[in-house]
Amino acid sequence: MADESATRAAHRGPADGPTTPGGTAEAACAARHRPVGAAVPRWAPGDHILWRYRENGGARIHICRPVTVVQDTDDLLAVWMAPGTPCVKPVLADGTPVHAEPLTSRYTKPRAVRRGRWTGAGMVKLAQPGRPWSVWLFWEPGWRFKNWYVNLEEPLARWPGGVDSEDHFLDISVRPDRSWRWLDEDEFAAAQRAGLMDPAKARAVRRAGREAVETILAWEKPFSDDWPEWRPDPRWTIPALPDDWDHTPAPRSSHQSP
């Protein structure tokens, strides 16, 4: 469906910018440099953090999105990604967009990263502690709600500057009428063929997906909450992409909260 295609396109990354192996932007705040093992305090509404993803089969950060904290509690981390946010996405080493490459070679060719800006309407990301997925909300221009997007992934790991995860390829789209459908099953299969996910892990991801579907069918949180009616504080500014966006690796733990 058209809205789901737009959602997938938005998920795949920002508008193209220069391809680089690292990031350059405003200097990061000192709090980002606390030791990873130290307790990470709750963030306050309006705080700027990084929402990042490691590359599959490696430790390098290849997706980085500066976001604004909406809520950070025992039950939920909610963040806002504003239109025009500077961010980082993966590309092939020659600069080719990842999703312009055929599936047969998409996950086997060398990669780099490219900096750009988020070109779609803003989105909200919601993560519940320990769950192997996050839920994203998309709107059309004028704040007409479009859909929820369930991104299957490793449970978020907190660190002083934000949260890290690893994407699991398979996704789910949920429309306002509560109908749903699987997304990116072809990529999920291709990643397994490329050796980025072994059979046991693939089964665990499928199981997590079924659990997410059960949550959708029961219309439990966060779907039952009024997030489609939420609006950002007009005083909030767009977060900067810090110089060290790819540094300070997160611990590979599954807990979200200190």
CATH code, 9: 2.40.380.10
Residue 219 has pLDDT above 70, yes or no: yes
Domain membership of residue 34 (yes or no) is no
Containing structural domain, residue 154: 2-21+40-229
Residue 258 has pLDDT above 90, yes or no: no
Domain membership of residue 85 (yes or no) is yes
What pLDDT, in 10s, does the model give residues 225-234?
A: 999 999 999 9
What is the band of 179 on the pLDDT scale with cuts at 50, 70, 90?
very high
Domain membership of residue 252 (yes or no) is no
Length of the chain (residues): 258
Domain membership of residue 255 (yes or no) is no
State how many domains the chain has.
Answer: 1
The model's pTM: 0.83
Task: Report the C-alpha gap between 88 and 12 in whole angstroms.
Answer: 11
Give the pLDDT score at 119: 87
Task: Report the C-alpha gap between 113 and 86 in whole angstroms.
Answer: 13
What pLDDT, in 10s, does the model give residues 78-114?
A: 999 999 999 999 999 999 999 899 999 999 999 999 9
Closest CA to 113 of 242, 239, 13: 13
The one-letter code for the residue type at 24 is: T
Domain membership of residue 250 (yes or no) is no
% of the chain at pLDDT higher than 90:
76
Domain membership of residue 76 (yes or no) is yes
Domain membership of residue 182 (yes or no) is yes
Domain membership of residue 257 (yes or no) is no
